[in-house]
Structure formats: C-alpha cells, structure tokens
Amino acid sequence: MESLAADLRTMVRTPLTDDHVARMREIGREETIAAGTVFVSLGAPADRFYFLLDGEAEAVDAVTGGRYGDGATLGPGQFVGDISFLTGGNAMLPMRTVQDCRFLVVDRDPMLELMSAVPEMSDIVVTVFAARRRRLLESNGASLTLIGMDRDRDIRAIGAFAARNRLPFRTLDLDESEADSIAKTCSIAPQHPAVVFGRDTVIEDPTPAKVARLYGLDLSLDETVVHDVLIVGGGPGGIAAAVYAGAEGLSALVVEDATIGGQAGTSSRIENYMGFPTGISGADLCWRGEVQAMKFGTRFAVPRRATALTRRDGGTFCVTLDDDTETCARAVLIATGVQYRRLPLDRLEALEGAGVYYAATEIEARFCRNTEVVIIGGGNSAGQAAMFLSRYGTRVHLLVRGDSLADSMSSYLSGRLEAAENIRIRYRTEVAGLEGDDHLEAIKLKGAGVEADEARLETRALFIMVGAAPNTDWMGGQVACDEKGFLLTGEAVGADSAYATSVPGIFAIGDVRAGSVKRVASAVGEGSVVMSQVWSHVMDGRA
C-alpha cells in the first residue's frame, strides 16, 4: 500500500509517544472491532481519530474492493486518516480490519483541541496526514473516476476543480476497456462521459459543487454561529491570514468560490518566492498553507461564493452565500483578489473550457499536445504559463499588445522566454476572432506586428491572461472603492490601519486592495500583518 508504506517508515522514526497516548485516553475510549469489518466507509464523515492499539488494518481500494496499494497495512502504534480529518471532510478511502483490532478512538473536536494544546503531537499527525494525501494524489488509484474528460468540458471542469483542491481522481478515455466495463456495471451508455464515485455510484449531471459535497468540502454552516473573522477569498493572502488567525486563537472561516489558492493557485511555477530556489507551483504553495491553517483550527468552505454583505445593529457582519445561507462574523477580511478580464470576442463564452482557458495547470496542459499554443498577456502569470506549456505544445505564441515586456514582467522571466527555442513573443499583436464549433480550431490576429500571411493561426489551445478586474461587486457598493473597483484602505478612507476599509471591522488585503503590489509574496505579507489589527477589533468588540 504505497500511500501508507511511507507513513509506516515515518512512524518508526517519530511515533506518537506514551504521553500522547495517555492524553488521548483522557478524552477518548477503547473500541474492539472484529476482523473483516469496514469501520470507515467511503464518503463517511472523517469525524473520529482511530489509534490502533492491537491488531492489523488495511485501506480498501474503493473501486476493486481489495487491499489498496502494494500490500502494506497499519499495525499497533499507527493511526487512521488523512487531511480530511482536519478539514471536517469525508473519508477518501474505506478502512477495514484484517485481524480483530483494539482502537483508541477520539472524536474530532476534542482531538483537534488536544492537537492544538500539544504542538509536538500535532506535528506528527499533520505530517502523516499530508503525506498520505500526497501519495494518494500521485497514485492514480482514487475513488473518483472521470471518464471522457478529454472530450467533455463539464467533466474537464470537475477535473480542474479536483486537481486544484487536492482531491484525488483518476481519468479514463472513452475507448478504454475499463471505461466500457464501468459503463456496464453502472448501467450507463457505452462511450459516454461520466463521473463515478467508488465502484458504481454515478454522479448525475456532475458539477464541481456536487463533487465538493461528496468529499465534505462545502461544509454545513451553522447560521447561528458567529465567527471572530470571516475571510472571503482563499488565495495566498487569505490563506496567510487564515494561518495567523488560527495561531492568534481567533475562530476563522475561509469561503472560496472556486479553488483554494485563487489565481495564484493556477500558476504552474513561482520562482521568485523566498525559500524555494527551484520554484514551486502555486497550488502546492497554497496547499501547504491551507494545511498549516487547518492545523490551527481554521476551517475552509469550497466552493461557496459570497453574494451579499450586511451589517446587523450589534455590529456583526453577515455574508450571504450563493446557496442563500448566511454566515456571520465580528470582522470580515476581503481577500477576493482579481480575475482575468474576458475579451470582447464573439463565441468566447461558447469556447471557454473547449479550447479557451484562464489557467495553465497540468489539467489544461494535457489539451495542448500536438497543437500550437497561444497565450495572451504580458505579465508574470502569462510568462510562467508560456514556459510551462512549452513542454507540451508544438510551439507557444505569446501575444503582447505593447512593444516590450520590460514594464510588466520580471526580467529573469522575460530573458528565459526570449531564450526558449519553441516560444515566440509576438509584440503589437492581438486576437481579432475565434473559429470553431464545439472546440476552438483557429484564431484571427490583428495589429502592427501581424504580417498578411500570419493573420490566421490554427490552434486548439488559447490562454487569456490579461487585465485584472477586482472581485468587489458582491458588496453592493457598501465599502469605498476607487474608479476601477479596487477597495480603498488606510489614509485614503481616513483609517489608522493600512488595511482597514471605509467600514470599521472590514479589512482588505492583496490584489483586491487599491495600491497593492500584485505579487504573491506581498499578498502573503499583508495577510500575515492584518490579523493583528483584526484581533484588536475583535477584542475591542468583546470588551
């Protein structure tokens, strides 16, 4: 069992100590479970911590029903679970006893409190949980099967959502024999795109929200609970704030409408972030931060989009979400960032997800093989995408409206682009039109840099990474913005705090804030600093 074998080796070096076990006994209970019993079901709430005292247990392959992985099992001193236990999500693998087992069982909430009180214990548990999730992601042996992702944009969207939220999944082409076998087992039409959970549960009309529900990512929110701080937006700034909120002892909830990591999470490689000399993907960086925040008790709800903001008479803020539920807090931190602008092109919306993309990750890269790749944009995100996608496409065309990259892109990156043999930077060039019915087939070009014989370029992959529109419309104009919609803070609204908005108790950080430096490190720094000001506001309100 490859996903757990590494953990067995880890636990030999750093097991939970006798003192840790004694502390768990104070809040837990012993349970004996007979051999052959599935004691954790696929998709069941991960709300119990199982520490094995005697016996042997195994992870179960949710598709075949056999032992998962290469045959390794859990023995005395080991414990069950992965990151889902921290998130309050659902189990991604069933667990079954091989022999009669005696477990020390602790319910989730008191276990998290104990982990918070004993950092050394928390470090061991979180490290093992994170390693298991990473191995599960790498194993291609997940319980979620996407059939026909290459041919269906809806399933492609689910794949992108799952990948960016670190949900394990596997893919099958429509013409694979296993896909045909699953179709027969699940009574679905052969060679028909589908999403299957476990062995035979077909997800009808699949959406990212339904997949999130399977894994418990969307969280059931108690509208009567008032958090200390509600963080709207799960990009680097929001995640950094989530870490510091938990570390300061504040009850915090992060709501994110797409994927944890935001726009930065779609970056294939960030090379100028301190501490990672060889670079790190945006998704990996943000996932590490998310795990760290969960360790301190911060919760994440995905995909949950904020649609309205109100303030009650007592000063509490309430945010309405896209499912009409409300969640309230004593302070609100806006970290919604920006989104790439849509270009005024005919048929753009019809081809989004079918040749037109706004992110360049492993999911999108698989659709770039054997085609010319076109990227619109002159910023760092566009440059990083060009370097990454040059490994997949036959050639990458970077379209830049201006005459130079000097003002919009880091010099180290522009130099690499200019040196790359299969990347062509095309200045003073814009897209004039799109061609294709069910999928993008070609684009039309215009501009001073376009020769007459280059006005049309055949491509099946166009990436739009231009402009930045702030995500502030949902606040209904209640918080002061500049003429472009970015939130005003600090001196601009007469506030003492650099991150305070025109409404006391509402703060803003990162790209959504007017005058901010549009860099990941800057957003992380602001998210770290602002929480001391949020803490002061919350404490003053409690006094």
The CATH number of domain 144-215, selected from 1.10.10, 1.10.3430, 2.60.120, 3.40.30: 3.40.30
| Other beta carbons within 10 Å of 452 | 5
pLDDT of the residue at 326 = 95
Question: Which amino acid would we find at residue 301?
Answer: A
Q: Which tokens in the block code for residue 451?
A: 């020769």
Q: Which of 441, 241, 406, 422 is nearest to 336 (CA)?
A: 241
pLDDT of the residue at 406 = 81
Q: How many angstroms separate the CA atoms of 536 and 275, rounded?
A: 31
pLDDT of the residue at 184 = 92
Domain boundaries, the chain: 2-139, 144-215, 226-339+469-542, 348-464
Q: Which of 84, 64, 82, 76 is nearest to 104 (CA)?
A: 76
Helices marked H in 390-434: 411-419
pLDDT of the residue at 339 = 84
The CATH number of domain 226-339+469-542, selected from 3.50.50.60, 3.30.70.260, 3.10.20.30, 1.10.3720.10: 3.50.50.60
Instruction: Report yes or no: 231 and 238 within 8 Å, Cβ to Cβ.
Output: yes
Q: Which tokens in the block code for residue 367?
A: 């659709």
Question: How does pLDDT run along the chain (543 residues), one tens digit per residue?
Answer: 333 434 433 434 578 999 999 999 999 999 999 999 999 999 999 999 999 999 999 999 999 999 998 888 999 999 999 999 998 899 999 999 999 999 999 999 999 999 989 999 999 999 999 999 998 888 877 899 999 998 898 999 999 899 888 899 999 999 999 999 999 999 998 899 999 999 999 999 999 999 999 999 888 888 899 999 999 999 999 999 999 999 999 999 999 998 888 888 888 788 888 898 988 888 899 999 999 999 888 999 999 999 999 999 888 999 999 999 999 999 999 999 988 888 999 999 999 999 999 999 888 999 999 999 999 999 988 999 999 999 999 999 999 999 999 888 989 999 999 999 999 999 999 999 999 998 999 999 999 999 888 899 999 999 999 977 899 999 999 999 999 999 999 999 999 999 999 999 999 999 999 999 888 999 999 999 999 999 999 998 876
Do the first three CATH levels of 226-339+469-542 and 348-464 match, i.e. the same topology? yes
Q: How many angstroms separate the CA atoms of 169 and 463, rounded?
A: 24
Strand partners of residue 41: none
pLDDT of the residue at 1 = 36
Looking only at the bridges linking them, the beta strands covering 423-427 and 395-400 are parallel
Q: How many angstroms separate the CA atoms of 235 and 252, rounded?
A: 15
DSSP at 508: E
DSSP per residue, 182-246? HHHHHT--TT--EEEETTTEE-SS--HHHHHHHHTTT----TT-EEEEEEE--SHHHHHHHHHHH
C-alpha distances (whole Å) from 451 to each of 247, 248, 372, 454, 462 are 58, 59, 18, 5, 20
Name the architecture of domain 2-139. Answer: Sandwich (2.60)
Q: Which tokens in the block code for residue 111?
A: 């276990």
Q: Does domain 348-464 have CATH number 3.50.50.60?
A: yes
Question: Which amino acid would we find at residue 504?
Answer: P
pLDDT of the residue at 543 = 64
Residue identified by tokens 């929110």 is 221
Asked if the peptide bond before residue 303 counts as cis, ω within 30 degrees of 0, the response is yes
Strand partners of residue 426: 399
Q: How many angstroms separate the CA atoms of 370 and 392, rounded?
A: 8
pLDDT of the residue at 51 = 98
Backbone angles phi, psi at 284, to 5 degrees: -70, -40
